[in-house]
C-alpha cells in the first residue's frame, strides 16, 4: 500500500472512530420521573448486616419497587440507566460501597459504585409506565465509613433515559 493511501485510510478510520464517539451526543438525556414509586429512597441501619470477611459487610436491603413515567418517551428508541449518586453521606470514597441489584422484570441485573451510571434497559418505549423491582444489596467496606453511631446509611438512586435519534 502506498504511503498516501495509508494516510487516507488512517484518516478515514480516525474520522469514523470520532463519529462513533460523538454519536451519543445526539441523544437526549433526562431524569425519569419516579415520584409514584412506593420507596425510591434507600436507607439502612445495619441491623441486617452480614460480615463477609475482614473488610466487607453485606447489607441486604430487600426489594425496592420503581414506577417510571414513560409517556414523554413513548414510541422512541431509548436506553435506561440506573444512576447511583456520587455523594453518599458518611462514605469517604466510592470504593467503600458497591450497590448490587437483581432485576425482576425487563431491567438487567448489575452493580455499580457511587457516581456510576449503569445501563439496565434498551429498546423502544411501548407503554406510559415501566414498573420494575430491584432486589438491592450493598457491599460496604467499614473502613470507608465515617458515620455517627446509630445513624443510617442513606442515598437515593435514580433512573435516566437516553432517547436515541
Domains and CATH numbers, the chain: 27-163 (2.60.40)
Decide if 111 contacts 99 (C-beta within 8 A). Answer: yes
What local confidence, expressed as pLDDT, does residue 27 receive?
75
Q: What cell was used for 55?
A: 473488610
Residue 140 DSSP SS3: strand
Considering only CA atoms, which of 80, 123, 118 is closest in space to residue 99?
A: 118
What local confidence, expressed as pLDDT, does residue 39 receive?
66
pLDDT string in tens for the chain (165-residue length): 544 444 444 444 444 444 444 445 567 999 999 998 886 556 565 666 667 777 898 988 889 999 999 999 999 999 999 999 999 988 999 999 999 999 999 999 999 999 999 999 999 999 999 999 999 999 999 899 888 777 777 888 999 999 998
What local confidence, expressed as pLDDT, does residue 4 receive?
43
pTM: 0.78
Sheet holding 97-103, edge to edge: 50-53, 56-69, 129-140, 97-103, 110-112
Decide if 98 contacts 112 (C-beta within 8 A). Answer: yes
What local confidence, expressed as pLDDT, does residue 3 receive?
46
Amino acid at each position: 500500500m502506498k504511503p498516501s493511501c495509508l494516510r487516507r485510510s488512517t484518516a478515514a478510520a480516525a474520522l469514523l472512530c470520532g463519529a462513533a464517539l460523538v454519536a451519543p451526543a445526539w441523544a437526549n438525556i433526562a431524569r425519569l420521573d419516579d415520584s409514584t414509586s412506593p420507596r425510591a429512597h434507600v436507607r439502612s441501619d445495619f441491623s441486617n448486616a452480614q460480615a463477609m470477611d475482614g473488610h466487607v459487610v453485606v447489607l441486604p436491603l430487600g426489594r425496592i419497587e420503581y414506577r417510571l413515567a414513560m409517556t414523554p418517551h413513548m414510541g422512541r428508541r431509548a436506553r435506561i440507566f440506573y444512576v447511583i449518586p456520587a455523594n453518599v453521606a458518611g462514605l469517604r470514597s466510592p470504593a467503600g460501597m458497591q450497590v448490587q441489584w437483581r432485576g425482576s422484570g425487563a431491567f438487567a441485573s448489575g452493580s455499580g459504585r457511587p457516581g456510576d451510571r449503569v445501563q439496565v434497559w434498551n429498546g423502544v418505549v411501548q407503554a406510559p409506565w415501566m414498573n420494575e423491582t430491584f432486589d438491592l444489596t450493598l457491599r460496604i467496606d467499614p473502613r470507608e465509613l465515617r458515620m455517627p453511631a446509630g445513624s443510617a446509611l442513606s442515598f437515593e438512586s435514580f433512573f435516566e433515559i437516553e432517547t436515541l435519534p
